[in-house]
Amino acid sequence: MSKPPVLVWLRQDLRLADNPALRAAAEGGAPVVAAYVLDDDGAGAWKRGGASRWWLHHSLASLQRDLAALGASLVLRIGPAARELDALLEETGARAVYWNRCYEPATRARDEAIKWSLQARGIEARSFNASLLFEPWTIATQTGGPFKVYSPFARACRAAPAPAAPLAAPASLARPAAMPASLPLEALALLPVAPDWAGGLRASWTPGEAGAQARLATFLAGPIAGYKEERNRPDIEATSRLSPHLHFGEISPRQLWHAAKLREGGGPDHFVSEILWREFAYHLLHHFPHLPERNWRDDFDAFPWAEDKAGLAAWRRGRTGYPIVDAGMRELWTTGWMHNRVRMIAASFLVKDLLVHWRQGEDWFWDTLVDADLANNAASWQWVAGCGADAAPYFRVFNPVLQGEKFDPAGDYVRRFVPELARLPAKFIHRPWEADDATLRAAGVELGRGYPRRIVDHGVARDRALAAFSKLRKPA
Ligand SMILES: Cc1cc2nc3c(=O)[nH]c(=O)nc-3n(C[C@H](O)[C@H](O)[C@H](O)COP(=O)(O)OP(=O)(O)OC[C@H]3O[C@@H](n4cnc5c(N)ncnc54)[C@H](O)[C@@H]3O)c2cc1C
């Protein structure tokens, strides 16, 4: 009698190579049923945002094509994962479910319940690590606790046994005699309905495993060598832009680690350090599951945040009057991504210059980023706001003019995303309010009409932020 099929439940591991759950199923020799279940409620309060849903649609389409090339197919379902998995077990006669682990608190709780329920019914339930270099609970301080500071965490990771070499994609997958029915991808309703705001996303990205590998190849062929020196420059393509691919598991951190380790020099080594920032964020989320919702430092619970609706709206639309902030917010809106340095500047502007709560910024990024990632987004917002683990001190307030001049020296990044200012000379591109009338006229800029005047004076806003901060009790 032929073996019953194994159900491979795909989630944030939308790839064939280095996919331990898929590989284990393939190696067992049983027919494989690969399934994706869109379970919005399973994510708790953190249902995917619009840009993420756009990405997911295209990533699933790409995976369907890749599985078809192996003679397999992807079954799509919608609804609570437990219910849909049960239906698939029933329909296929499968006696085993394999998946790769997720680390978001609501998803983790759901998955644990599913595992118990399957095992209680004698169904094999196996989970694997596919998204992290190190499981969050395996890296610990000398006293066995979680790390709260990045540098010793990164040192501990580097001293740990190296992550295993990436697995090859299965050469073939056996098909069950009868494949369960799949919903058409369109039924998942992941794409925007009118208006279609995704044109800039389509022009910027190729979701899917092949797109991820192409990005990696481009990065390895050039930018990685100068990564250490140039990664803070938004005006040049100096970073990998792999974050959405990593989030959806179209490429694995193990693949990146081993690709970087094969190369000499400060660039590849610094790239590993950034991958370890991602690991640190997951470590924090694992040990502090309220990270996306609550101040990690609870003395910040008393912080006097402002209710600045107009400021928040101007920030979201890229109309603050500070060119580097506006360029970043418009890059985000157009492409679904923003350079890391500019994320820091724009986030600092929201929480410090406008005193708007970091959760408002976190929510906006969650909806608009193609790489929206619960661990990275929460840890980074708390880092910028000063209330997170190993955070930038609150009194370190980014000056958007000096940051712009340092990291976008010729103003090319601003010119690209804020075309109203494109003809301003570099001297004024980050401080247009200082240009004289003749210069503004020659550049076709009329402040307050085409491009806005500054919504706050940074010097005044900085003093206000420091005064607010000084009212907090000092951390123990
Ligand atoms: C306010 C704010 C919000 C952020 N929100 C997210 C988010 O939702 N999702 C997300 O993936 N990243 C987030 N980041 C981190 C960082 O900006 C992006 O990971 C990075 O810009 C992605 O570009 P890249 O792939 O070219 O990075 P590279 O420089 O090529 O780095 C390689 C990978 O390392 C990881 N990485 C790099 N920097 C960081 C960092 N500071 N923290 C954690 N991981 C890092 C990412 O997975 C990245 O893809 C946020 C940063 C800030 C300041």
Strand partners, 127: 99
Report the alpha-carbon distance of residue 198 to residue 219 in Å, rounded: 25
Q: What is the CATH number of the domain that holds 151?
A: 1.25.40.80
Q: How many CB atoms lie within 10 A of CB 195?
A: 7
Closest Cα to atom 45, ligand 1: which residue?
278
Is the bond into 184 cis (omega within 30 degrees of 0)? no
Handedness of CA 341, 279, 107, 37 (dihedral sign): positive
104 and 137 assigned to the same domain: no
Q: Tell me the residue type at 248.
A: F
Q: State how many domains the chain has.
A: 3
Strands 6-10 and 74-78: unpaired
- Report if residue 180 sits inside a domain: no
Coil, helix or strand at residue 271? helix
pLDDT above 90 covers a percentage of the chain that reads: 95
132 lines ligand 1 (CB under 6 A): no
**Short-list 365, 367, 347, 345, CA closest to 355:** 347
Report the alpha-carbon distance of residue 340 to residue 281 in Å, rounded: 15
pLDDT above 70 covers a percentage of the chain that reads: 99
Q: What is the CATH number of the domain that holds 460?
A: 1.10.579.10
- Report if residue 82 sits inside a domain: yes
Q: Give the pLDDT score at 473.
A: 63
148 and 280 assigned to the same domain: yes
The angle that helices 323-335 and 309-317 make with each other, rounded to 10 degrees, is: 70
Q: Which of 54, 99, 205, 358 is catalytic?
A: 358
Q: What is the CATH number of the domain that holds 104?
A: 3.40.50.620
**Residue 217: its H or E element:** helix 209-221
User: What range defines the domain where residue 366 resides?
Assistant: 298-470
Closest Cα to atom 41, ligand 1: which residue?
277
228 and 321 assigned to the same domain: no
150 and 215 assigned to the same domain: yes
Q: Give the pLDDT score at 1.
A: 57
358 a catalytic residue: yes
331 and 423 assigned to the same domain: yes
- Report if residue 376 sits inside a domain: yes
Report the alpha-carbon distance of residue 54 to residue 51 in Å, rounded: 5
Closest Cα to atom 31, ligand 1: which residue?
274
Report the alpha-carbon distance of residue 316 to residue 328 in Å, rounded: 10
Q: Place 471 in a pLDDT band, splitting at 50, 70 and 90.
A: confident
Judged against a pLDDT cut of 80, whether residue 389 lies above it is answered with yes
Q: Which of 230, 305, 399, 433 is catalytic?
A: 305
Length of the chain: 476
CB of 235 within 8 A of CB of 408? Answer: yes
- Report if residue 181 sits inside a domain: no
457 and 332 assigned to the same domain: yes
Q: Give the pLDDT score at 2.
A: 78
Order of strands across the sheet with 32-38? 74-78, 32-38, 6-10, 96-100, 124-128
Q: Give the pLDDT score at 393.
A: 84
